Amino acid sequence: MTKDEVLDNFFLKSIKRFIDNSTTGGIVLFSSAAVAIVLANSPLSEWYFNLWHVKFPLCVIEILSPTQSLNELTTKAKGYFQHGVQSCWIVLPTMSNIYVYSSPSEYDIFRATETLVDSKLNISFPLVEVFK
C-alpha cells in the first residue's frame, strides 16, 4: 500500500468507528446545540435568525442539452415559480445566451459579451468567463 492509501484507510476507519459508536448521536446533538447557542448570542445572531426564514430554492439554473427543446425548459421554468423559486436561468450554450426569468412571463436575455444582472437575487457578473 502507498502512503496515501494507508492514510485514506486510516481516515475512513476512524470515521466508521466514530459513526458506529453509540455516543456519536449525543456528541452531534450537543455540538449542534452549542453552535446554535453561540451563533444566536453572537454578532451573527441576525444572520442566524434570518436563516430560518429563507425560502429555498432561491434560483434554478437549467442548461439546454442537445436532447431538450427550449420549449421544454421554459415550461419547466414556469413550474419552478409555483414552488417558490425567485429566479430561473436557462443557459443556451450553443448561442452563448442566458435567459433570466424573474417571473413565469418576464425574462431578460444576456449574451456572452454582456454582464448578467439578476435583480431578484441582487447579483451581477460578466458572462465573458462563462462562455469561454
> How does pLDDT run along the chain (132 residues), one tens digit per residue?
676 676 667 767 777 676 666 677 677 778 888 988 898 899 988 888 887 776 668 899 999 888 889 899 889 888 889 888 999 999 999 899 999 999 999 999 999 999 999 999 999 999 988 887
pTM comes to 0.58
- The answer to whether residue 85 sits within a structural domain is yes
pLDDT at 90: 94
- The answer to whether residue 76 sits within a structural domain is yes
Kind and range of the H or E element at 42? none
**63 in the same domain as 42:** no
Number of independent structural domains in the chain: 2
pLDDT at 8: 67
Q: How far apart are CA 126 and CA 116, in angstroms?
A: 6
Specify whether the CB–CB gap between 89 and 59 falls below 8 A.
yes
- 127 φ/ψ angles, rounded to the nearest 5 degrees: -85, -5
* Beta strands, E only, 1-132: 59-63, 87-92, 97-103, 106-111, 115-118, 123-126
- The answer to whether residue 38 sits within a structural domain is yes
**122 in the same domain as 80:** yes
Q: Which CATH number fits the domain that encloses residue 116?
A: 3.90.1570.10
pLDDT at 56: 63
**Domain region containing 64:** 59-126
pLDDT at 1: 65
Q: How far apart are CA 33 and CA 2, in angstroms?
A: 40
pLDDT at 110: 96
- The answer to whether residue 132 sits within a structural domain is no
pLDDT at 60: 92
pLDDT at 53: 73
Based on C-alpha coordinates, what's the Rg of the chain?
Answer: 22
**71 in the same domain as 26:** no
Closest C-alpha among 75, 23, 41, 80 to residue 57: 80
**64 in the same domain as 47:** no
Pull the grid cell for residue 78. Answer: 414556469
Domain end (from 29, 51, 73): 51
